[in-house]
Amino acid sequence: MKRTLTVLAFLLSASGFAAAPKESPELLAKGKAVFDAQCALCHGEKGDPETSPAGKAMNPKPRHLVAEAFKAGDSPEKVFDSISKGLPGTAMAPFGHLPEEDRWGLTYHILSMRKSKGKK
């Protein structure tokens, strides 16, 4: 049984399919730190690109992460996917090189900003 589970886990990770971990305060804090360092330049610290000189000047503009609909879906899995693979043809580059944990942290940080409408 244990062996089957190991093989299954391997197959899942090899296929690039990542199961969403549980949201936690630690994951959220990590996500915010990585967001401020890697994403705020374009998206704005609270997800509003108008608050960032670089974001404002871009075309197409970075998504307003709080007020706009997401093209590629806004379930945790879809957001994780967009962060990992980027959006081809736009300035939204793939961030698949970041540790998986960081990308889940980013996902939950963005979704929590959306829930609180950027009031945090």
From candidates 95, 101, 114, 118, binder to ligand HEC by CB under 6 A: 95
111 is a contact residue toward ligand HEC (CB under 6 A): no
Secondary structure, 3-state, the chain: CHHHHHHHHHHHHHCCCCCCCCCCHHHHHHHHHHHHHHCHHHHCCCCCHHHCHHHHHCCCCCCCCCCCCCCCCCCHHHHHHHHHHCCCCCCCCCCCCCCHHHHHHHHHHHHHHHHCCCCC
83 is a contact residue toward ligand HEC (CB under 6 A): yes
The site map against ligand HEC for 9-28 (x = CB under 6 A) is: --------------------
Q: Catalog residues that contact ligand HEC under the rule CB under 6 A.
A: 38-39, 41-43, 58, 60, 62-63, 70-72, 79, 82-83, 87, 90-92, 95, 106, 110
